[in-house]
Structure 1
């Protein structure tokens, strides 16, 4: 790990540690509280800001339960592939997992509505907003698990071997989308989707299997993509959503006192705190990227943005139909999300 990356992770852990320290209030121990060890599996490298964030979250939970609930972190797909993390929580392969619903397109249509382009202005308060919004729908859509919290990354964009400023620039090119909604955007623009997970994306770029990826700025460095791309569309195109999913049987084994502490660590406010260091790191990645020799920011014109928005409107209509199929009024749900984003100063 480079010194810069080490500082990056330490700063993330320190910032979250202070925030969680203020939030965590230890619960009085009671006789029937038995020691519990929860396995938290994620697919990110340990250098990612969320790894120390999850570690600090677990430490805060341990403190709040007077040491009776401990969390062991398994990063980098140690317990299973990235696309399998929802099923891992459902089946008890891990007790808590970090899920990207976009890795299984079509499986979770309601939360996919948050991925419609040009909704979010930032990932920090945007995480609290999506968490508050999705709680109404989580039990319906992810009933196999207990959803602890939902969050998003800071808005991402296209990072590519080719110049991308407008939808026409995607025609005939192979794009690794960050989620199902970006995949739909690519298809509408005439491009071809290459479905690989984040850890596999650099290999796809280097082998010529993909011409571009959609990713937030800071994470490009974490996964080493800056060595495989040259151009970066300078616009907050999209977000991806993520869920911290909990095995129901594991949660059920907690005492009433432990559940109270656990639930206090599964709130919209906690979602924002867990995500803060990551959002700060992602947003700072833009200046760092564009300062690198051989890298170029491509600024879309007003007409380019209008063209992207036109495709976004088509996606919104299509999502309304997807939501309708599972008994959800898409227009109402999207208006609720927009209202929550506005309320928390997270609307684009």
Structure 2
């Protein structure tokens, strides 16, 4: 073999190695933009916290990983938020479990009336607790999705346009917009008629008298500007709304390992608690907004509130029994959640 051929061969090998290294470096340095969907308005706490998360991901990745947010159901209606992640329309979404009743049955236990950990109803606590229990009890309810974290709102209040709720029987005959099938059961058990009204149409429905009341946490009532159309809000709240942040697993697996690690480190119980804290702050601000709009905060005497709790407690037992008969670890999850 001639010396010149050996030199040429070594040169070619070196060039190929350099090209391969260049391709590898280029691939690892590729930029990625993830589509993030939710159905709440752009002024909602979720939008603000997702934007904050996006800034953190971009900084941690040196600008290689970015989020593009699609609020207000741009990519799909509330009941499709989980499906659009499974299908790949969105890469990440925050879905409301109550919008598809019966699909996530163990998760829905969290939203039963007066169910909360012994430490209280603060969203920072309830969101963290639910997320901590996900690997054991809940993740299997979300096939085709990678669960990132969960969020539990403050207990939803009854906001009414014309009738103050001061006694258990004051619910009778009212038409109330509900947030999920469980709240429909609650409303029916109290003697009112549950009506399915999209969140964005609630204000108009109240103003026109199509509905007499609606169920929202204060932060949600502020987001949809209900303080302009209701006169009363009843405390304490009754049931919570449960949201789950999920990601398309194929999209996650297609990311370079270092970007996967960044996502993993930024999600889970800590992120749940952070979103929960933001919800708690928004709940306080929402209550202040309602009072500033002239809304009267009403309460019931203990004996009247106990009547409500008695009627609604039967719904929880009925759900737990049905899930246990179906082979679900309902009572174990419930016991661990309320510790």
TM range (shorter): 0.7 to 0.9
Within-5 A mapping of 1:12-91: 32-91=28-87
Q: Is the 8 A contact 1:123 1:155 kept in 2?
A: no
Which deviations, in whole Å up to 9, do the C-alpha atoms of 1:260-293 show, x marking residues without a partner? Answer: 1111122111111133223212123224323433
Match of 1:21 in 2: none
Q: Is the 8 A contact 1:165 1:300 kept in 2?
A: yes
Structure number with bigger Rg: 2
Within-5 A mapping of 1:268-307: 268-293=269-294, 295-307=295-307
Match of 1:105 in 2: 101
Q: Is the 8 A contact 1:33 1:258 kept in 2?
A: no
Q: C-alpha displacement at 1:66, in angstroms?
A: 2.5
Match of 1:318 in 2: 318
Within-5 A mapping of 1:178-327: 178-293=179-294, 295-324=295-324, 326-327=326-327
Any idea what SS the aligned residue of 1:72 has? strand
Q: C-alpha displacement at 1:234, in angstroms?
A: 1.9
Q: Is the 8 A contact 2:128 2:273 kept in 1?
A: yes
Which deviations, in whole Å up to 9, do the C-alpha atoms of 1:220-245 show, x marking residues without a partner? Answer: 12201112211110213221110111
Separation in 2 of the partners of 1:131 and 1:273? Answer: 12
* Count of residues in Structure 1 that have an aligned counterpart in Structure 2: 310
Separation in 1 of the partners of 2:94 and 2:125? Answer: 19
Distance 1:142 1:267, change over 3 A: same
Q: C-alpha displacement at 1:82, in angstroms?
A: 1.8
Any idea what SS the aligned residue of 2:338 has? helix
User: Structure 1 residue 145 and structure 2 residue 139: aligned?
Assistant: no
Which deviations, in whole Å up to 9, do the C-alpha atoms of 1:197-222 show, x marking residues without a partner? Answer: 31222222223221111111132122
Which deviations, in whole Å up to 9, do the C-alpha atoms of 1:285-326 show, x marking residues without a partner? Answer: 224323433x22211110122112112311111211342254
Q: Is the 8 A contact 1:156 1:237 kept in 2?
A: yes
Separation in 1 of the partners of 2:55 and 2:151? Answer: 20
Q: Is the 8 A contact 1:103 1:197 kept in 2?
A: no
Q: Alignment partner for residue 112 of structure 2, among 113, 116, 124? A: 116
Distance 1:321 1:34, change over 3 A: farther
Q: Is the 8 A contact 1:138 1:147 kept in 2?
A: no
Answer with 318-327 or 277-286: which moved more.
Answer: 318-327
Q: Which runs of 5+ in 1 are unaligned?
A: 1-28, 340-348
Match of 1:168 in 2: 169
Q: Is the 8 A contact 2:165 2:298 kept in 1?
A: yes
Separation in 1 of the partners of 2:132 and 2:166? Answer: 33
Which deviations, in whole Å up to 9, do the C-alpha atoms of 1:135-188 show, x marking residues without a partner? Answer: 323332111211111011222210012222344222222111123222111111
Any idea what SS the aligned residue of 1:163 has? coil
Q: Is the 8 A contact 2:124 2:275 kept in 1?
A: no
Q: Is the 8 A contact 1:49 1:278 kept in 2?
A: yes
Distance 1:48 1:305, change over 3 A: same
TM-score, structure 1 normalization: 0.84
Match of 2:88 in 1: 92
Q: Is the 8 A contact 2:113 2:316 kept in 1?
A: no
Q: Is the 8 A contact 1:58 1:70 kept in 2?
A: yes
Answer with 274-283 or 183-192: which moved more.
Answer: 274-283
Q: C-alpha displacement at 1:194, in angstroms?
A: 0.9
Match of 2:329 in 1: 329
